[in-house]
Structure 1
């Protein structure tokens, strides 16, 4: 019995249909199937996929060995389960492997970048760690 056939089918289903459809509906950071392919393949091979696979042979995911294919499906399943927060982390790493900056976090989220000149988590009295070291941190709510 060929274990690859169901994995290849699941990869296609997740990367080419399910993840992009959910991403558009839920407004994830990435919505295009080729971007999901980049992210999933990069994490399956541990770096830029085109440094490991032949970008001239298409589709690239069919070149994955059995362990890499299993890893790719596992990554795609995790994205499906965890959604945009995990996708943002994986996309940022994929972009770093390419020497590119990560996309900014959506406004109003805990991972949103701090304004220039301020540390993330800074308040007018400093970061939470600075306040704690000075004993000026607000008491936590009961």
Structure 2
């Protein structure tokens, strides 16, 4: 995903940012409230599959990564309705 970020004008470009976005959205809350770090080792297969599917859909253009990022930030209390 980091390699695809510049051409797609995604709001993030680092691995850990994509991890945050995909895992937060897969969990429906900040992932660290549900999974001990590191997530790749401690998350159950179902949750990882949801996160992977979101990433694949974003790469295919079927999910809006910018919207997923906004939702992740909202879940973390770092985005208000005014920021949308």
TM-score, normalised to structure 1, is 0.52
Matched residue of 2:64: which SS?
A: helix
Q: What's the CA shift string for 1:32-51, capped at 9, x where partnerless?
A: 11100001111121210000
Higher relative contact order (CA 8 A, sep 6+): 2
Partner SS state of residue 20, structure 1: coil
Gap runs ≥5 in structure 1: 1-18, 103-112, 114-142
CA displacement at 1:97 relative to structure 2: 0.8
Is 1:87–2:37 an aligned residue pair?
no
What does residue 41 of structure 2 align with? Answer: 62
Please identify runs of 4+ aligned residues in structure 1 that moved more than 6 A: none
**For each residue in 1:71-129, what CA deviation from the matched residue of structure 2 results, as whole angstroms up to 9, or x when unmatched?**
1110110111117x700110000000111127xxxxxxxxxx7xxxxxxxxxxxxxxxx
The TM-score, its normalising length taken from structure 2, stands at 0.83
* 1:1-142 correspondence runs (5 A): 19-55=1-37, 58=38, 60-82=39-61, 86-101=64-79
In our comparison, the structure showing a higher alpha carbon Rg is 1
The answer to whether the 8 Å contact 1:41/1:72 transfers is yes
Deviation at 1:25, TM superposition (A): 3.2
Cα RMSD (Å) of the superposition?
1.9
Q: Is the 8 A contact 1:40 1:72 kept in 2?
A: yes
